[in-house]
Structure 1
Amino acid sequence: MTQAPTPTADTVRRLVRSLLSESAAPDVRPVEEGTSDAGPATWWVGSRHVLRLAPDREAAVRQLRELRLRDLVRPYLPVAVPASVAHGEWAPGLTYTLDAKVPGGSGEEHHVSAVGEADLAALLSGLREVPVRQAEALGVPRAAPRSLETLRRAAERAARRLAEADEFDPARPERLTAAATAQLGAQPGTAVLVHHDLAGEHLVVAADGRVRGVLGWADAVLGDPAEDIAGLALSVGSPAAVRAATLAGYGARPCLRGLWLARCDTLVHLADVLAGRSAAPLPLLRTRLRRAWEPILLERVTALREDGTEGPA
């Protein structure tokens, strides 16, 4: 297999100058990736553009699909989706996209206000309105709902290891039982377009707390909407995530499912880092664990009955 070239600052400058027709050499600097190693190399270009380079053929396929998907979802969403100023190949078979920068800061840096929660609610509502068949025609894959029971068992093992490391209190009042897990299964026929990576670095938040844009559409799938509720729990905290999902029309079941997906994930991921099985940044995972385990009113006022209905406790 031919080794893919490694992009350098000179490579990026030459490409950008050909695209923007600027006489002066543009200021370029790499963006520190917060996503998977398979993602495209990302560079800031001045203060108005972002260049993303696909490092391999698989990433190139995903990037082309992302460009088409962004055009599809844009009319349905109340927040900005990045627009490509130019795209093509930066090396044989390897694609690039030069995107206009969405104004605002990272969701990891700015607090989302109450009005921003309404923006998130409209985001979830918009994703639900995107035609599934059109997204599937673009190549967006379907993803089966995760087994919450399998995740619960893994999280219980992780919680014991974290308790030994003084990272988690296993005596917390919140606890996911096997009986509750059975009632929090994904409901059939509820597949929608799921962003699947609503991490803080993918939320563009203004200084006033409004959510202005959503980045990072390469991991989108057709599947369980609770995954995006879980992503918001990690990014803005469980109370805000559940309030946004409720405003979007989701009931107690998907809200609680998303909450527990997030909580179990944080335990497993943090335990993996402490055991040396992951190189994810430890401070970020601790912050996400704290956000996901914030108590919510819904847990205290809602009971899932054995007959499958929802009602006050």
Structure 2
Amino acid sequence: MTRPPIPTPDTVRALVRSLLRSGTAEGVQVRPVVEGRPYTWWVGARHVLRLAPDREASVRLRREARVRDLVRPHLPVAVPAGVAYGDWSPGLACTLDARLTGDLGGGHEVSAVGEADLAGLLTGLRAVPVRQAETLGVPRVPPRSLGALRRIAAHAAERLAAADEFDAAGLRQLTPSGAAQLAAQSGTAVLTHHRLTEDHVLISTDGRVRAVLDWTGASLGDPAEDIAALATSVGAPAAVRA
């Protein structure tokens, strides 16, 4: 299999000129959003360019535009809008999006009003018609086994307890039968972002949740997946309250 070329600043500028059908990108500053990851680029102060590294990612990136249009009316937070779409290499998709304001999740603590934003986000996702999402090709992801997760957590808790770094008594309250009762019920699948990590949640200096980025991983499944991801991006207390 032929590997795609590694994007460079020159190729990014040429691609932006092509997407915008304009020479205005000639002097624009471009730089990777994260150093060492050449598939997402800041383009000036107003745009972000995302490049699919393979054909599977291209499918998700092309579907994302339709998913964002589907969820946007249901959410109290911003969703990126595409400015231009195309292929940056044969068969590999790219999208130029308008840049949204805010800092990534690790930059600021979520305020009480921000927790209300998160609650509105989760509620809005539940309101998205599942059938419409399916027609867009959004995949179904089966819920994870809470029993298996409990066994893994119990093993880790016992090891930490032996090192006097954790009190495993609390975890013992979640019995195998209790985990079974908490498992996701059949027919409860909803649209989930499935990647609500700090890389994809924009928070303003006043603690408001302003936007959610990167909908390429959207799936139909257990809403607890989004709550778990929020626990890593904004902290477990805020995620649980939301």
TM normalised by structure 1 equals 0.72
Q: Which residue of structure 1 lines up, in the alignment, with residue 144 of structure 2?
A: 146
Report what 1:271 is aligned to: none
**Aligned partner of 2:229: which letter?**
G
What's the CA shift for 1:157?
A: 2.6
Taking structure 1 as reference, are residues 27 and 161 closer, same or farther at Cα in structure 2, changes over 3 Å only? farther
Taking structure 1 as reference, are residues 170 and 33 closer, same or farther at Cα in structure 2, changes over 3 Å only? Answer: farther
Q: Is the 8 A contact 1:31 1:42 kept in 2?
A: yes
Structure 1 alignment gaps of length 5 or more:
245-313
Report whether the alignment pairs 1:8 with 2:8: yes
Deviation at 1:18, TM superposition (A): 2.9
Q: Which residue of 1 aligns with 2:217?
A: 219
**Paired residue secondary structure (1:19):** helix
Residue identity in the other structure for 1:124? L
Q: Structure 1 residues 155 and 33, CA, compared in 2 at 3 Å: closer, same or farther?
A: farther
Q: Does 1:26 align with 2:28?
A: yes
Distance change >3 Å, CA 67–CA 28, structure 1 → 2: same
Residue 55 of structure 2 is aligned to residue 57 of structure 1: yes
Task: Give, as a single letter, the amino acid of the residue that structure 2 aligns with 1:89.
Answer: D
Partner of 1:45: 43
Read off the aligned partner of 2:6 and give its amino acid letter. T
Counterpart in 2 of 1:307? none
The verdict on how the C-alpha distance between 1:146 and 1:33 changes in structure 2, with shifts beyond 3 A counting, is farther
Contact 2:142 2:222 survives alignment (8 Å): yes
Q: How is 1:106-117 mapped onto 2 (pairs within 5 angstroms)?
A: 106-117=104-115
In structure 2, stretches of 5+ residues that fail to align are: none
Return the letter of the residue paired with 1:233: A
Query: 146-155 vs 172-181, which deviates more?
Result: 172-181
What is the distance in 2 between the residues matched to 1:23 and 1:50? 13
- Could you say which structure has the greater relative contact order, defined with CA pairs below 8 angstroms and 6 or more residues apart? 2
C-alpha distance in 1 between matches for 2:183 and 2:29: 50
Taking the TM superposition and a 5 Å limit, the aligned residue runs for 1:46-195 are 46-161=44-159, 169-175=165-171, 176-195=174-193
Displacement of 1:163 after TM fit? Answer: 5.7
Corresponding residue for 1:249? none
Partner SS for 1:31: strand
State the number of aligned residues: 238
SS in 2 for 1:41: strand
1:8 Cα offset (Å)? 1.3
- The normalised TM-score by structure 2 is 0.91
Q: 1:173 to 1:101 in 2, by over 3 A?
A: farther
**Cα shift at 1:230:** 1.2
Deviation at 1:62, TM superposition (A): 0.8
8 Å Cα contact 2:16/2:25 also seen in 1: no
Root-mean-square deviation over aligned CA pairs: 2.0
**1:310 aligns to what?**
none
Within 2, Cα distance between the matches of 1:23 and 1:149?
Answer: 53
Deviation of residue 23 (structure 1)?
5.7
Does the aligned pair in 2 maintain the 1:33–1:42 contact within 8 Å? no
| Residue matched to 1:294 | none
Give the Å deviation of 1:161: 4.9
1:157-209 deviation digits (Å, cap 9, x = unpaired): 33445567x6x833255313323212211122211001111111211111111
